[in-house]
Amino acid sequence: MSYSAGRRVVVTGLGAVTPLGVGVGALWQGLLEGRCGIRELEGEEFAGLPVRVAGTVPVDPAGLLPRARARRMNRAARFAVLAAREAWRDGGFDGAGTAESGLDPARVGVSAGAILGDASVLVAGDRQLRDRGPRGVSPLTTPMCVPSQAASQISLDLGITGEARTVTSACASGTEAIGQAVDRIRYGRVDVALAGGAEAVVTPAIMASFAAMRALSRHGLYGTGQSPSRPFAKDRDGFVNGEGAGFLLLEAEDHARARGARIYCEAAGWGLSADAHHMAAPDPSGSGVALALRRALADAAASPLDVVHVNAHATATVDGDLAEANALAAVLSGRRVPVTALKGSLGHLQGAAGAVEALATALTLHHGLIPPTIGCADQDDAITLDLVTTTPRPLPTDGDLALTNSFGFGGHNAVLALRRAA
């Protein structure tokens, strides 16, 4: 049974800033070539950490924005604005904003996912207070440390007045933000939305905390083509922290077709659930994940037989990957659906992960090509998924739906269902 009603929603633009570079082209080409954007962390502040690798963006985003604007944005917001601008222009709109694009600004929205946004701002403010006293603390500290800064800065940049929403649901934030935007369009609240996520939490304290949880991979960078993030592999031992942003331009289908927009795919449905199991560990049964998967299929008016591809969350934790694999096997009734997992290339982009992975899934449907999973040289025998590795694989033609999964600390589960454009 379908829960959906109202207008169909389509994807008409894409934008990304990731460890593989700035722009969707750098992301897609890097994924297809099996490149790894995970790097050694340099700098004195990281020297004493037990884990010193992360998926970091290879350029300073401040240098790609007007100086006066950049200094009022935290790092995550800079990523977000760059990605949102790319998606906006990719969709055929004027980069100057909504009014210049002939849109009613009140009929356009922003929906951004973030866990913390930029964790370094509050740390810097505390350091300024200790070193220089109250007068040394920047007045920008508070507005720059809130997770909602990415959404507000996109709104400011493009003159979007319809709404600027922020979703915080751990590592499912970006995916849920897209789902929320789908509903806002579907039910007529807005006609167009920029939806995705942005995160910049590669900081010493966050890295130390994840390491103390024993959540981070202890694999190092051993040479060209090697990744310490090893989704679904026998030797997986934890995730690799990362940063970046991804945004999709979503539109009501009738709105997009009226202006002759290129359509990447349909945002057909989405599903949420909660494990109610543990503050950090996933439910090993995978029942919460399976519920989100089934709800996404129902919302898209689809069945498991329609699924042609899955972009897995697969952070390369021992329990998390197994729970996801078991849930997929149960929901898909053992069908051999090709699966890819991108965190070997990117690391785990936290609140932005689901958005970047949804973007890659849209490209997979659009180009008919599945990028490979890197880092999994030897797949876990307990995981029976049809994992795409080594080289890209053509997308099968016997279905039209792709699922992209995100699961977060605290049991947050979110799944998007994207449908091949007709």
CA atoms 395, 398, 399, 404: torsion sign? negative
How many CB atoms are closer than 10 A to CB 186? Answer: 19
Q: Which of 219, 255, 309, 348 does the annotation list as catalytic?
A: 348
Q: Which tokens sit at 405? A: 């999964």
Helix (H, G, I), strand (E, B) or coil at 340: strand
376 part of the active site: no
Between the alpha carbon of residue 365 and those of residues 186, 225, 262, 296, 404, the distances in Å are 21, 26, 14, 17, 12
Is 219 a residue of the active site?
Answer: no
Length of the chain: 422
Alpha-carbon distance 18 to 14, whole Å? 13
From the list 255, 309, 313, 412, the catalytic residue is 313
Catalytic status, residue 171: yes
Q: Which of 171, 219, 265, 376 is catalytic?
A: 171
Three-class SS state of 313? coil
Contact present, 112 and 80 (Cβ < 8 Å)? yes
Q: How far apart are CA 381 and CA 398, in angstroms?
A: 27
270-297 burial code (b ≥16 CB/10 A, e <16)? bbbbebebeeeebbeebebbbbbbbbbb
DSSP state, 118?
B
Cα separation values, 103 from 97, 180, 191, 192, Å: 9, 21, 10, 9
| Catalytic residue numbers, as ranges | 171, 313, 348
